[in-house]
Amino acid sequence: MVDILIRSARVLQLKDETATILNEHDILIEGNRITAIQPTGELDPSHAKTVLDADGQVAMPGFINTHAHVPMVLWRGMGEDVNLDSWFNDYIWPLENNLTPDDVFWGMQLGLMEMIEAGITAVSDHYWHMDYAARAVEKAGTRALLGQAMFSSNGMGQIDDTADFVQRWNGQANGRIRTILAPHAPYTCEDDFLKATAQKAEEIGAGIHIHVAETIAQTQASLERRGQTPIEVLEETGILTAPTILAHVIGATPNDLEVLSIATAPVGIAQCPKTYAKLGMGYANLVEYRKMGLPVGLGTDGAVSNNTLDLWESMRLTAMGQKQLTEDAENLTIPQALTIATQESAQVYGQGDDLGDLAVGKLADVILVDVSGIHHQPLNSVTASLVYNTRAGDVQTVICDGQVIMQDRQHKTLDKGEILDHVLPQMERLRQRDNTHRIQTYNP
């Protein structure tokens, strides 16, 4: 008796950057693992506790959001048409003055719900009050890699506090929750603070999730101020000796890429192209990054810059952005975009062996995508449709860790009414914005 039989799907398979579709195939799930992928008909549906009739839907790995600040959905649409300095100093950091643990608990649920509807089953989240974020993840049934954000201006004591958080939550919720140390950025964390964080990471066996070289201007400012790039600062302070998620890395020099490519610990690059476009930040040349062996993961960043938590958009914008940047439409092909969205994002997330692939033995994070809509017709290429035509609304069913958390667009874990009942009455308070009171100042 299997736990879940996904019946008669189009199963997406990616190998060596080649994408294929297994038509009319079943996926069998026992516990939280995939135990078989086989032609429909080999298993009688009566041998499954739950049968999900996929009938031509595409089965693919759940998306992995490698860089986000999920509870920022609370301020969605509130930092528009401004450049990065103003965005930080006039919007985000004044607004974040208002944040309470309860806001994180409910804001996290709101964002998790949006992500579930978009087929995102895991998120690497970098934010505050992360015990409350963890409780929201427990409830949602998704995976998360949680890091408590730190500015060095808040003192060295944070490092032990967040290390406690890391140890308290790592492996909880049947392993769905993992944890990470999360210093904000080299421009908001002094060298001593970064060094102490790196030492703590080694001591407790944790990874590090940090923003770095977000723009070319940041790299230039760092070079002028101290003669080192932000990536070189990470190297010198020991950050790169831990498994690391580096968010953005748009302002990397050729030497920076060399440094990253020879780092002994795994380094992953998280990319949030909608945020970069909206803030006019430029794009990293991912074609080169990938040639140097650096894995690239998709991210949404927070919803005040990205507006949505939708990795279909991030995937599409990643592919299109690289074609524009390199002026070569042969770059970042459909199979490459799908590889980045699945296997490479899993690698950046630190679970490359267990996630991002539909194969026997992998964790059962599977989404079912309806490609029967008129915007997919005629379905000349399933893989082209996944990259360029699919909307979050086409995701029908979401399985995470062997549990169905959304079925035919009905949520099984979170309740929209309950979430909005908690969030909406707080919005007048949360929208207050006094830019003489901000949690930090952007001056990289």
Greatest Cα-to-Cα distance within the chain, rounded to the nearest angstrom:
69
Which tokens go with 72? 């920022």
How many residues in total does the chain contain? 444
| Contact (Cβ atoms closer than 8 angstroms) between residue 176 and residue 215 | no
The alpha carbon of residue 308 and the mean position of all alpha carbons in its chain are separated, in whole angstroms, by 12
Q: How is 28-61 classified by DSSP, letter by letter?
A: EEETTEEEEEEETTSS-GGGEEEEEE-TTPEEEE
> From the list 33, 139, 195, 323, which residue makes contact with its own copies (rule: CB under 8 A)?
323
Query: Of residues 380-419, which lie at the interface with its own copies (CB under 8 A)?
Result: 380-381, 384-385, 388-389, 391-393, 416
162 touches its own copies (CB under 8 A): no
> From the list 277, 288, 439, 440, which residue makes contact with its own copies (rule: CB under 8 A)?
277
Strand arrangement of the beta sheet that strand 208-212 belongs to = 63-68, 120-127, 143-150, 177-183, 208-212, 244-248, 267-271, 296-298
78 touches its own copies (CB under 8 A): yes
Binding mask 37-76 for its own copies (x = CB under 8 A): ------------------------------------xxxx
| Contact (Cβ atoms closer than 8 angstroms) between residue 392 and residue 117 | yes
Prior bond to 101 cis, omega within 30?
no
> From the list 18, 20, 83, 441, which residue makes contact with its own copies (rule: CB under 8 A)?
83
* Shortest CB 280 distance to its own copies, Å: 4
* Euclidean distance between CA atoms 26 and 316, whole angstroms: 28
Q: For 177, which DSSP code?
A: E
249 touches its own copies (CB under 8 A): no
The residues facing 48 across adjacent strands are: 2
287 touches its own copies (CB under 8 A): no
334 touches its own copies (CB under 8 A): yes
The helix (H) or strand (E) run that includes residue 12 is strand 2-15
* Euclidean distance between CA atoms 19 and 64, whole angstroms: 18
> From the list 329, 360, 408, 432, which residue makes contact with its own copies (rule: CB under 8 A)?
329
> From the list 5, 59, 104, 110, which residue makes contact with its own copies (rule: CB under 8 A)?
110
84 touches its own copies (CB under 8 A): yes
77 touches its own copies (CB under 8 A): yes
Which tokens go with 296? 């690239």
Q: For 402, which DSSP code?
A: T
What amino acid occupies position 59?
A
Q: Which range of residues in 139-147, 168-176, 192-200, 379-387 is near its own copies by CB under 8 A?
A: 379-387
431 touches its own copies (CB under 8 A): yes
227 touches its own copies (CB under 8 A): no
* Shortest CB 79 distance to its own copies, Å: 9
| Nearer of residues 291 and 416 to its own copies, judged by Cβ | 416
Chain residues that interact with its own copies, rule: CB under 8 A: 73-78, 80-84, 87, 110, 113-114, 117-118, 274, 276-280, 282-283, 307-310, 319-321, 323-324, 326-331, 333-334, 374-381, 384-385, 388-389, 391-393, 416, 420, 423-424, 427, 431
